[in-house]
Amino acid sequence: MPESHSSLHPLALAPVIAPPSTADEFVERFLHNLNFDRGVALSASSANDRYLALAHTVRDYLMARWLEDVRHQKEVQAKGVCYLSAEYLLGRQLDNNLLAADLTEVATEALASCGIDLDELRAHEVEPGLGNGGLGRLAACFIDSLATMAVPSIGYGIRYEYGIFRQTFVDGQQVEQPDAWLALGSPWEFARPEDAQTIAFGGHTEKYDDEGVTRSRWVPAWNVQAVPYNYMVPGFQNGRVNTLRLWSAVATSAFDLRIFNSGDYEEAVRAQTYAENISKVLYPEDSTPQGKELRLQQQYFFVAASIHDFLDNMLADGFDLANLPERVIFQLNDTHPVIAVPEFMRVLIDERHLEWDAAWAITRQCFAYTCHTLLPEALEVWPVELLGRLLPRHLEIIYRINDEFLVAVRERFGDDEMLVRNMSIIAEHPVRSVRMAYLATVAGAKVNGVAELHSQLLRDKVLHDFDAFFPGKFTNVTNGVTPRRFLRLANPELSSLITAAIGDGWATDLERLRELEPFAEDAEFRTAFAGVKAVNKRRLSEVLRERDGVEISDGHMLDVMVKRLHEYKRQLLKVLHIVTTYEGVISGRIAVSDVVPRTAIFGAKAAPGYAMAKRIIHLINAVGEVVNTDPRLEGRLKVVFPPNYNVTLAERVIPAADLSEQISLAGKEASGTGNMKFALNGALTIGTDDGANVEIRELVGDDHFYLFGMSEPEVSELSARGYRPQDFYQADEGLRRAIDLIASGAFSRGDRSVFEPVVSNLLYEDRFMVLADYASYVAAQERVDAAYADQEAWTRSAILNVARTGFFSSDRSIRDYIDRIWHTPPLV
Ligand code: RUG
C-alpha cells in the first residue's frame, strides 16, 4: 500500500464488498458497465455490448468472493491441487456463472426492465473451445466440482488463441475453419502481464564445478514470455471462487529489440510469430515434424510457467521445500503435462540447489498421473532427438531417472533384458524416444485410470509390469460430470421436476436422485417426465431449425451418437444399422409401416489429419442425404448431422435424446462421459461392455440398458485367434447387403470409388471389429424398437436411469481423488 493507512480513504481499506443482489442494483451496475466499460448508451448498444456489460456485472458480484478466496488460500497454506491440463473445454460461461452466483432470476428481471431478453445475450456468447473432447470437458467438470466443494486448487492450462476448429460441411465433407473465439473480446478473463514468466528453450548443457562437485546446467538459446490470464471458477452457490490460469505466449521484448535494432524487421516479425505460435492453436496438426515440435513446446511452455508460478507466488515466505508434499499435488491430466516432472526436478536441483535424492523424494510425492486411454498410439512418446534439442537439460534428467529406475528393476526382477527394455522410459525402437506415460508412472505417487474396467486393463495389460513393480500405486477414479451444467443448466424442466419430487439439494448431492426411484411407479410423474422430454425435443428442434435449417419430425425416437469421430468409437456400426434398415425397406423385405420412426442424430469432429475419420463423416452425410429424401421411407427414418458439435449444442441435444449410442469396441473407450450425461438426462443406453458403460449398466440394471457385442476378453480371444472380417461378411446376409449397398455407389451417385477405402478397410482390416459386433448390435436395436413401442415402460426405464446414476457426479470423482490420491480436504 502506497501511503500510511491513516491517510487513506476508508473505502480503500475496506474489503471488496459484493453489491446487493436486487434487480434495481443489478440494473444500475449493468448500465454503469455498459456506459463506462463499453462507452455506449443503452439505446445505441449492440448485442455484443450488452453481453459484455452483463458479463462484467456478473463478474462484479463474484469479485469479492474471488479476491477473498485467493487471499485465504494463500494465507492458510493448506495442501492444494494444481491441476495441469492442456485442455479445458469450458462451454459458455455466462449462464454457469449466473447460476453459481444465484443471480439468474435477478438478472432476468433486471434485463427485462431494460427491454432486454436474457436468452438473446446468452446466445451471443462464443464458447471457449479450448479442448478436443472428453478429456478437456472432464477438466472443466473437475474445476467446477473443486470450487463447489471448496477444495484449495488452481487449474493451469493454455490460452489458445484459436480453440478447436469450427467444423463446416461442404458437399458432406468436413472443412475446418479457425475458431476466433476471442474476436469480440472475452469478458471472463483477467490478463496479468505483470505476473509473466520467462520460459526458455533450446541451447545446450554444460558442466561446472560447484565446490568440488561437478554439476550440470542449462544454457538455453531462446525464450518466450508466458502471460497468465485468470478466469473465475465459481462454486455452485457456496460463495467460493477458484482460479483457472491459462498461459499465453508473447515474444520477449529483449529478443525482438535485438533484431529490430539490427534493422531486420522481417526477421523480428518472424521471431515474434514463432514465439507466439506456441499458444496460437489447440493441438496443431502433428503429422508433420514441425507440428510435433510445436506441440512439445506448448506442453513445456505451460507446465514450466505453472510450476514457477506456484513456487514463486503461492508459497509462504521462507517455505521449506522439503515440505512441498504436504502443500501441493500436481495432477497430470494425461501425458500432455508430463514434461513437468523433469522441469520440477530441474528447478529443485539447478535453481533451488537441492541434491538429486532430496529432489527426487519430493517429486515422487508431488505428482500423480491420470491415464485416459488404452490405445497405444495415444500414449505420447517424444523422439530423443527432438526432446534433446528443445530441452537438453530435461533429457539429461530423464536419462538419470531412467538409469536409477532400471537399476531398481534389475535388482527386483533380475537381469531379464526383455523386461528391462519393456519397462524402460526410453524406447529404442523404432526411434529412440521418451515414453511419457512411463515417466509419469515412475514419478507419480499414484496412477489412475478413469473407469473400473479401464483401470483394471491398465494394471493387467498396458502398464502390467509397473503394477507388479509398484504395488499399490495404481488406483481407479471413475469419471464424472457436473450436474450443474448438465442437469441444472441444460435441462431446467427436468431439474424443476426433480426438485418438485425430492426437494432441493440434489445438485450438490447427486446420490439423492435415488429418491426418485419410487416415482417411476407413479403414473402422474411418468406423464410429467415424458412431458419434459417432449419439451426438450421441441427445443432441440427449434435450435436445429434456426442453426442448420433442419427439421425433426414429431413422434420420432431420437437416437443420438455425439462424440469425436474415431474408428474405435464405431460410428460406422451405427451407419451400418441405418443402411440395413434402409436397404430392408427399399428391397421390400421390411414393410415401411414396421419401421419404428427414428431420427439418428450424429455430432462429431474428425482430427484434421485423420483421413479415415473424415471419410466416415462424408459417408454419414451421404447416407443421410439419400435416406432423408427417399419417399419409400415415408419419413420414418431420418439422419441429422449438425456440423460443429460443441458443448453448447450438447446442452440441447442430450436432454432431448431417447437413446444414447455408446458402441465402442470393448476395451477401447477408457471411460466416456457423454454416456453419463445421457443417462442422467433420462436416455437409455445401447452399449457395449466398455469404459464406464459397465458401471452405468451395473447401476441402472440390465433391464434398462441395451447391452450388445463382445466383452473385452472375447475381443482379445478373437484377436488372438486371428480376426477375419470377411468371415462375418460372408456369414451374415443383412451385413452383406448393407456393405454391398455402400460399395455399389448408392450413396455416392453411383461412384463406387468414393467410399471404397471405407469398404475395403471394413472387409480386410476392421481393426475395431465392427463386422464382428454387427449382428449383436442389430439384434439389440430390435429390442430397442420393441421396448420403445411401450412408452409407459420406456419412461419408467428412463426415470430409473436418472434415479440410479447420481454416482456419476464429478463431485464424487473429486471425492475419490481426495481420498485415494490427493488428501486435500476442503477449506472451511
Ligand atoms: O477417450 C477418453 C474418454 O474415454 C474419457 O472419458 C475421457 C476423459 O477421461 O478422455 C478421453 N481421451 C483420451 N481424450 N484423449 C485421450 C487420449 O489420451
Q: Which atom of ligand 1 approaches the CA of 450 most closely?
A: 9
Q: Which atom of ligand 1 approaches the CA of 691 most closely?
A: 4
Residue 290: band (very low, low, confident or very high) from pLDDT cuts 50, 70, 90: low
> Does pLDDT of 14 surpass 80?
no
Q: How far is Cα 468 from Cα 464, in angstroms, rounded to an integer?
A: 7
| Other beta carbons within 10 Å of 625 | 17
Complex confidence, ipTM: 0.99
Our answer on whether the CB atom of 479 is closer than 6 Å to any ligand 1 atom is: yes
Our answer on whether the CB atom of 134 is closer than 6 Å to any ligand 1 atom is: yes
Our answer on whether the CB atom of 370 is closer than 6 Å to any ligand 1 atom is: no
Q: Which class for 555: exposed (0-12), middle (13-18), buried (19 or more C-beta within 10 A)?
A: exposed
Per-residue model confidence (pLDDT) at position 288: 57
Q: What is the pLDDT of residues 94-140, one digit of tens each?
A: 999 999 999 999 999 999 999 999 999 999 999 999 999 999 999 99
Catalytic residue among 205, 478, 599, 673: 673
Our answer on whether the CB atom of 426 is closer than 6 Å to any ligand 1 atom is: no
b (16+ CB within 10 A) / e for 385-422: ebbbbbbbbbbbbbbebbeebbeebeeeeeeeeebbee
Q: How far is Cα 613 from Cα 207, in angstroms, rounded to an integer?
A: 49
| Other beta carbons within 10 Å of 132 | 18
Residue 269: band (very low, low, confident or very high) from pLDDT cuts 50, 70, 90: confident
Q: How far is the CA of 500 from the centre of ligand 1 (A)?
A: 35
Q: How far is Cα 813 from Cα 293, in angstroms, rounded to an integer?
A: 34
Per-residue model confidence (pLDDT) at position 557: 98
Which residue has the CA at smallest separation from atom 10 of ligand 1? 135
DSSP state of 811: H
Stated length of the chain = 828
Q: How far is the CA of 467 from the centre of ligand 1 (A)?
A: 21
Catalytic residue among 636, 677, 796, 812: 677
Which residue has the CA at smallest separation from atom 8 of ligand 1? 135
> Does pLDDT of 523 surpass 70?
yes
Our answer on whether the CB atom of 673 is closer than 6 Å to any ligand 1 atom is: yes
Per-residue model confidence (pLDDT) at position 1: 46
Q: How far is Cα 242 from Cα 82, in angstroms, rounded to an integer?
A: 12
Which residue has the CA at smallest separation from atom 3 of ligand 1? 672
Grid cell locating 619: 459417408
Q: What is the pLDDT of residues 601-633, one digit of tens each?
A: 999 999 998 999 999 999 999 999 999 999 999
> Does pLDDT of 266 surpass 90?
no
Per-residue model confidence (pLDDT) at position 264: 72
Q: How far is the CA of 373 from the centre of ligand 1 (A)?
A: 6
Beta strands at 328-333 and 241-251: parallel, antiparallel or unpaired: unpaired
Residue 291: band (very low, low, confident or very high) from pLDDT cuts 50, 70, 90: confident
Q: What is the pLDDT of residues 337-382, one digit of tens each?
A: 999 999 999 999 999 999 999 999 999 999 999 999 998 888 899 9
Our answer on whether the CB atom of 691 is closer than 6 Å to any ligand 1 atom is: yes
Per-residue model confidence (pLDDT) at position 808: 99
Q: How far is Cα 358 from Cα 321, in angstroms, rounded to an integer?
A: 10
Alpha helices in 347-391 (DSSP H): 356-366, 384-390
Our answer on whether the CB atom of 725 is closer than 6 Å to any ligand 1 atom is: no
Active site residue 372: yes
Amino acid identity, position 170: V
Helix (H, G, I), strand (E, B) or coil at 517: helix
> Does pLDDT of 259 surpass 70?
no
User: Which has more confidence, 591 or 288?
Assistant: 591
Catalytic residue among 564, 618, 668, 796: 564
Q: How far is the CA of 800 from the centre of ligand 1 (A)?
A: 27
Our answer on whether the CB atom of 670 is closer than 6 Å to any ligand 1 atom is: yes
Residue 255: band (very low, low, confident or very high) from pLDDT cuts 50, 70, 90: low
Our answer on whether the CB atom of 672 is closer than 6 Å to any ligand 1 atom is: yes
Lowest mean pLDDT among 2-16, 241-255, 437-451: 2-16
Our answer on whether the CB atom of 259 is closer than 6 Å to any ligand 1 atom is: no
State percent of the chain over pLDDT 70: 97
Q: Which atom of ligand 1 approaches the CA of 454 most closely?
A: 4
Average pLDDT, the chain: 95
Catalytic residue among 569, 577, 638, 812: 569
Which domains are delineated in the chain? 77-92+127-479+815-822 (3.40.50.2000), 510-808 (3.40.50.2000)
List CB contacts of 678: < 8 A, sequence separation 6 or more: 560, 654, 657, 660, 662, 685
Amino acid identity, position 695: E
Per-residue model confidence (pLDDT) at position 261: 65
Q: How far is Cα 473 from Cα 443, in angstroms, rounded to an integer?
A: 11
Active site residue 280: no
Q: What is the pLDDT of residues 165-218, one digit of tens each?
A: 999 999 999 999 999 999 998 999 999 999 999 999 999 999 999 989 899 999
User: Which has more confidence, 15 or 10?
Assistant: 10
Backbone angles phi, psi at 139, to 5 degrees: -60, -40
List CB contacts of 572: < 8 A, sequence separation 6 or more: 616, 619, 758, 762, 770
Q: What is the pLDDT of residues 483-515, one digit of tens each?
A: 999 999 999 999 999 999 999 999 999 999 999
> Does pLDDT of 728 surpass 80?
yes
List CB contacts of 229: < 8 A, sequence separation 6 or more: 159, 189, 190, 191, 192, 245, 246, 247, 248
Q: What is the pLDDT of residues 421-474, one digit of tens each?
A: 999 999 999 999 999 999 999 999 999 999 999 999 999 999 999 999 999 999
* Alpha-carbon distances, residue 733 vs 108, 727, 736, 777 (angstroms): 58, 12, 5, 15
Per-residue model confidence (pLDDT) at position 631: 98
Our answer on whether the CB atom of 138 is closer than 6 Å to any ligand 1 atom is: yes
Q: What is the pLDDT of residues 741-788, one digit of tens each?
A: 999 999 999 999 999 999 999 999 999 999 999 999 999 999 999 999
Catalytic residue among 124, 372, 605, 636: 372
Which residue has the CA at smallest separation from atom 14 of ligand 1? 135
Residue 542: band (very low, low, confident or very high) from pLDDT cuts 50, 70, 90: very high
> Does pLDDT of 260 surpass 70?
no
